[in-house]
Amino acid sequence: MTDTDDEVPRRTVTIPDRIELPRLLDFYDLQDADHTRIHEFYDRLREGSLSTTQCADCGELHFPPRVVCPECTSDDLEYVSLPHEGTLHAFSTVRGSPIGMDTPFGTGVVDLDGVDVQLSARIDGAEYDDLAIGDPVSLVITEIDGPTDQQRVFYRFEPQGDNE
């Protein structure tokens, strides 16, 4: 499992500040070591690498990252890089959001290339009618501009060839 040699596109999204008690409704984690034990996942994502944990004892690969292996209960986990490309396994459109996100937007399940990892993600850069199961997609790192002083990131995917 290696990172691609291509630079991963980056975008910035803004979380609306018009919501009362925004931190309670903000579903993006605080991403530093003081707030999460998987901060290395976010550190690596910030650096342009999608990663997850793999158990050093039984070899099981986990997504999302874990602090204890669900297979053998070992805490001897190491971070490994994941591919930045995958295939769209399923998709839908979100048409309404209780927290003020701009809708509609696409969401889907992505099978990452070459590894046994399937993850859910927002699918940017295409309308529902433009997507099909089996479409190749690529990672986009999204900077989260919101109600905290932390620099936060998350991942999304977009159809290949549609990078800005």
Ordered by start, the domain boundaries in the chain are 10-159
61-64 long-range Cβ contacts below 8 angstroms, 24+ apart: 61/115, 61/116, 61/117, 63/117, 63/118, 63/119, 64/38, 64/119
Give the C-alpha distances (Å, rounded to integers) separating 92 from 28, 75, 107.
21, 36, 5
Which pLDDT score is estimated for 164?
Answer: 44
pTM of the model: 0.78
pLDDT digits (tens, 9 = 90+) for 67-126: 999 999 999 999 999 999 999 999 999 988 766 667 899 999 999 999 999 999 999 999
| Amino acid (1-letter code) at residue 62 | H
User: Which phi and psi angles does 111 have, rounded to 5°?
Assistant: -90, 115
Q: Is the pLDDT of residue 21 over 80?
A: no
Token readout for 10 is: 């980056």
- Residues 120 and 136: their CA atoms lie apart, in Å, by 15
DSSP assignment letter at 29? P
